[in-house]
Chains A and B, each alone.
Chain A
């Protein structure tokens, strides 16, 4: 069974940093693209970026809205996906999801983790 579990969320002050993790199981992690998606309360989901698989040398793409502040990485030895978030703003408050990619579709999602940016 495919499982994705996000962790690392919480309350952070504006300007601060936070690193989210997504632990996966039930599939060969290194073979798949992975993405981060967020959803502010009551708003549409927003794709943040992706990291490709081994065959594509773990290259990354980012939404311009977060490029330069957010960094996606992966540890294929521990089957963990990461999202490093720097210079956080109040508008980054959202539920953050990791998702397994079927290229640029998302066939499995985690339950999400809440990130609140507030002073």
Chain B
């Protein structure tokens, strides 16, 4: 199985700041990488696919980059509603696998 590693499990930042969340795959997955946001009491939300393509409805302050094994989700000018958990998911091969998540707390 492709192991997805999110090395940072917790991150705190203030509104207006920019943050980056990393995700590393155990083998090259090209750009078959998605990012999800999970907020308490809400369903998971697909933010980005193909490493960098924003889903309809994802604010432009979100961006994704990377290919191969290393990927980054960047959020510019944090808004209070951006708190929550962020997960990466590879869809290069089955079984589909997720990272362990990065919790973003707003200071």
- A residues sitting closer than 8 Å to B (CB atoms) are 4, 43-47, 61, 63-65, 97, 99, 102-111
Contact = CB atoms under 8 A, between A and B. Distances in A.
B8 interface: no
Contact of A109 (B44, B97, B101): B44
B75 to A, nearest CB: 20
Interface of B: 4, 34, 36, 41, 43-46, 49, 55, 87, 89, 91, 94-101
Given A99-B44, A105-B89, A111-B43, 18 more contacts: A4-B43, A44-B98, A44-B99, A47-B95, A47-B98, A61-B94, A63-B95, A63-B96, A64-B95, A97-B43, A97-B44, A104-B96, A106-B36, A106-B44, A106-B46, A107-B55, A109-B44, A110-B43
Nearest to B90: A104
A104 B91 contact: yes
5 contacts: A44-B99, A47-B97, A102-B46, A105-B46, A108-B43
A96 B55 CA distance: 24
Contacts of B34: 105
A102 B91 CA distance: 11
Nearest to B55: A107
Given A63-B95, A105-B34, A43 B100 contact: yes
B98 A102 contact: no
A104 B98 CA distance: 12
Contacts of B4: 44
A107 B94 CA distance: 18
